[in-house]
Structure 1
Amino acid sequence: MTPRTVTAITALALGCRLFAQVSVDWTESGGLAIALDQQNNVFTVNYDPNLGGDITLTKRNANGAFLWDASFDQTSTTMFDKATWVATDPQGNAIVTGTVMSGFTSPVNANSLVMKFDPAGNLLWRQVYESFFDGSSTRKCVVDKASNIYVVGIGTGPNGQVTKVKKFAPNGTALWSWFDVGIGAPVNIKFTPDSNLVIAHRGIVGSVNGYTRIDRNGNTIWSLGGVNSLTVGDAAGDAFGNTYVVHGDYLGGAGSVIRKLSPTGTLLWQNVYPITAYRVEVGTDNAPVVSGFPFPGNGGAAFLKTDPNGTQLWSNANADGPNNFLLHAQMMLDASNNAYLCAGVLFASGHLQGTQRWNRRLVHHRGHRWWSGVRIGYGQQRVRDRRSTVRLGQATTGVQVSPRVFLEGPFNALAGSMSDGLRAAGLVPLADPYPGLGYVHTGPPSPSTTNVVLSTTGTNAIVDHVLIELRDDADNTLVLASRTALVQRDGDVVDVDGTSPVSIAAPAGNYFVAVRHRNHLPCMTASAMALNALPTALDFTSSITLTYGTAARKSIGGAQVLWMGDATFNDQVKYAGSANDRDAILVRIGGAVPTNTVSGYFTEDVTMDGTVKYAGTANDRDPVLVTIGGTVPTAVRNAQLP
């Protein structure tokens, strides 16, 4: 790929205080859709619109360095593959959707397609559906925590060509197809915090919007059609199952309507607000933010926020200053509930209080740019259009914590510290291991550590990676931010540089703090803690620190340690029955000869000595039985998390 020069024309930092200005970290040509994996690698897709043309998937690292291109060579001389979206799953695979187009001068939709590539760019599978030349198309895909794929587009259902969602298993098996009742073409699809899906539709003819909420099994929860609106609408859900939809005020002719719908689709309230909004997102505070134009028929960028009851909290009708930006595309909220908008040649950011944070006008070397998307990364934003991918860097604010925790597996009661056997054997990975175990972070991906950090010896030697979660102070079932960090032999939990407090991208406030490990049971503070930009100490090794639930930790010689034995990383320790941890250990060593051993970095190594053993001295099976009580093999010890 040949880099293209992108010139920064304006950069503003406004509001109640001065914030760091935004820099263009890197730019590369190509890309009409963008996705990040857990390691902040960047995936973009593009396509060749000539007959016989293919979709190209490109991967770059977080610094913009080219890693690889991948494509599927379709051999038709009368068709080409048109890319529509790219997403990633927790394992770092890339899912690409597209539409098979027929013809050259005026190409028409022929079929829908979805492909999956592994992290190295190898094609795992490709599905073209349904029947040949059925006129279907795709628009977008989303991926759940179990790596199932949901593709939204147009398909032929009982009521003709309507919005269609098709679910694919991680191996490419088609699981189900859902069709709407005929309320328009799809505009957007999103997951809600309670793991359902909301879809915004636009009538193929006329000025009508529609909205639908479905579950992950393809069942309609509710559907709202026939919403008259001169503007395209959007929808987003909160953590309580409610949905906020936005559309134009058709009768009044100015402003926008926000409706709040209950989990069953019942109207809770609706109000008219004084901007022309096209996009809505819901923050961690369960309050909606909308963006659009200040007035109908005018350019510019406007933001507005209400509380969950519809009371307007703030409005910024001049977020882009004198620039009069057009062509609004995507809006997102970060972990601090700041809002980001890509529109025309605008990249604008607004504070959670509604003040303008900064905007960056990016101009192509030919003098024009049509931005079409954004993803929020750790301390940077990535935008893309048909020609370029750009990373914008900014200072990252957040909170800092300094936890202390002991893991029972490597804990030595006599020494009062843990063994660093995994590190000494060179088994501790540099990268965050938790996405590979199926954990999906809330917030930005966790960065890798370095060989220099893992070379430290003594009491500050690294034992392993641990997870820190910040949970809502009003509803501690909600994880608002998460971060992987490192635990030292003395129990100190530090950032990936090996010394600093753990920085988490979350606004200052009160949080329940939980600490987790890949083969130990987690624990959480009994009450919310006040966190801010200054490090907050939290000693989980002390009985003075109260924890949620009953017996969340084990006492060894006066020290509090996390219970060992969760070889399956499923928040419970079981010796017998389905999904038990004893069998997982046996399977890891081969499943047949109980005296076999396997060395490596495995969750089944609950003693964390670098070797998985089912029998003999210092084996990993016996600690599972001890953790559940030592006498009743059918007993279960559950994690003390809500």
Structure 2
Amino acid sequence: MKAILFVLLILSCNVISTAQSIDKFSIDSGGANLTNGNVSIIYTIGEVNVAERTSATIKISEGFLSRFIKIKINPKVFLQGAAINTETNGLMNDDLRDLGLLPIASPFGDGKTVDVSVFNLGGTSSLGAFEDDIVDWVWLEFRDEMDVSNIIKGTSALLQRDGDVVALDGVSDITLGVVPKNYYIVLKHRNHLGVMSANPVAVTETGTAINFTSSTTATYGTNAQIALSNGDLALWAGDTNSNGEIRFSGPGNDANIIKDEILNDPLNGFNSATYTSVGYLLIDVDMSGGGRFSGSDNDSNIIKDNVLQHPENGFNSPTFTINTTIPEGN
């Protein structure tokens, strides 16, 4: 069934009177949300803004629109965990996809879902390039160029093995209803520390590329990413509770989170510290499909190495904390 498109256009008009006139570009910055069943309307008054809500058959857009505006963006990022012992140089491993552990619903809480066929080899056709296989979900965010804490829009997206962040069909560039202008660009992952551009980036309708894997792309804060052995940059792995910190020892450390989840796994009948918990897990730092606290290739050692070798940990202290470089958002 074709979607029905409603455009809610709130314009002022010139009021002829002896007292005053109201221009359409300056009324108020108000607005509201209205919901009735499965139809939601967002509207604003007096500001150039674009938003949209979609149901199975209805799409509603608002703002001072002369046409339907969508920006296009093509970010690129690597995850350290998925690049450990990589099968192919320059590509991340896709073990979670290969093991059938990737969820069709985003872990970031915005309600986005995909068809399971997107996780086929090379996308829905199963005939695509293997470098386009999906590694995991990521979160893409646009922040105000005048206030880095102000989140303008965020959305779930998918990450390919070659680092391309793509739309929910697993292959296309991301298009969003965002006013074309300058934004700080943020990319986050559920158990890695995120990254943000050092400066606002011009986002356009024709397309914008930003490559966080390259050292030529300036990022916000110091040592926002880790350098891989081939020179590419990647997000720091090891944030096992998604709190924006990576700790190996001390209160609330990530290694203990791994240990506790392993020991409390209902399938770990002998409470063995060398047990491997299987699933789509925050404690699976290397994204292999299994979380390990001790033994060979355990996830705790990745956290330890990151902490001890961090450029700002001058004393190689095991209690050093790697903090996210992304300002808190609102």
Q: Which of 419, 425, 431 does residue 105 from structure 2 map onto? A: 431
Counterpart of 1:12?
A: none
Q: What one-letter code is carried by the residue in structure 2 that aligns with 1:638?
A: N
Hey, what does 2:127 align to over in structure 1?
Answer: none
Preserved contact between residue 486 and residue 498 of structure 1 (Cα < 8 Å)? yes
Instruction: Tell whether 2:232 aligns with 1:559.
Output: yes
> Which residues of 2 match residues 121-520 of structure 1 at below 5 A?
313-315=25-27, 331-332=31-32, 353=47, 378-380=52-54, 392-394=58-60, 397-411=69-83, 412=86, 415-435=89-109, 445=110, 447-457=112-122, 458-520=130-192
TM-score in terms of structure 1 length? 0.40
Amino acid at match of 1:22: F
How much does 1:379 deviate? 3.1
SS of residue paired to 1:434: coil
Out of 293, 317, 324, the position equivalent to 1:632 is 317
Between Structure 1 and Structure 2, which shows a larger proportion of strand residues? 1
Find out whether 1:575 has 2:254 as its counterpart: no
> Residues 230-260 of structure 1: CA distance to partner in whole angstroms, max 9, x if unpaired?
xxxxxxxxxxxxxxxxxxxxxxxxxxxxxxx
Q: Cα offset for 1:400?
A: 2.1
Deviations 1:477-518 (A, max 9, x none): 121111110000111110001111122332211100011001
Residues 616 and 517 of structure 1, relative CA distance in 2, 3 Å threshold = same
Question: Which string of whole-angstrom CA distances, capped at 9 and with x for unpartnered residues, describes residues 345-385 of structure 1?
Answer: xx895675579x9xxxxxxxxxxxxxxxxxx8x5338xxxx
Q: Which residue of 2 aligns with 1:241?
A: none
Please state how far the C-alpha of 1:618 moved relative to its aligned partner. Answer: 1.2
Post-superposition offset of 1:410: 1.1
Distance 1:352 1:505, change over 3 A: farther
Gaps of 5+ in 2: 16-21, 62-67, 123-129, 265-270, 310-315
Name the structure where helix makes up a greater proportion of residues: 2
Q: 1:406 to 1:349 in 2, by over 3 A?
A: closer
How far 1:598 moved relative to its partner? 0.6
Query: What is the Cα deviation at residue 578 of structure 1?
Result: 2.2
Percent sequence identity over aligned pairs: 30
The number of equivalent residue pairs is 281
The answer to whether the 8 Å contact 2:247/2:322 transfers is: yes
Structure 1 CA distance for aligned equivalents of residues 180 and 259 of structure 2: 45
SS at match of 1:570: coil
Q: TM-score, normalised by structure 2?
A: 0.76
1:601 paired to 2:280: yes
Q: CA deviation at 1:429?
A: 0.5
Give the Cα–Cα distance (whole angstroms) in 1 for the partners of residues 249 and 6 of structure 2: 55
Query: Which position in structure 1 is the counterpart of 2:261?
Result: 588
Deviations 1:535-570 (A, max 9, x none): 211111111111011111111111111111111111
Shift of 1:593: 2.6
* 1:314–1:354 contact (8 Å) kept in structure 2: no
Match of 2:267 in 1: none
Is contact 2:32–2:43 with CA below 8 Å preserved after alignment? no
RMSD: 3.3
Q: Deviations over 1:594-622 (max 9, x none)?
A: 11111000011010000001111111100
| Structure showing greater Rg | 1
Give the secondary-structure state (helix, strand or coil) at the position aligned to 2:26.
Answer: strand
Query: Does 1:541 pair with 2:207?
Result: no
Question: Which residue identity is paired with 2:32?
Answer: M
Q: Which has the higher contact order (CA 8 A, sep 6+)?
A: 2
SS at match of 2:302: helix
Distance 2:117 2:174 in 1: 18
The SS at the match of 1:478 is strand
Corresponding residue of 2:294: 615
Q: Secondary structure at the match of 2:168?
A: coil
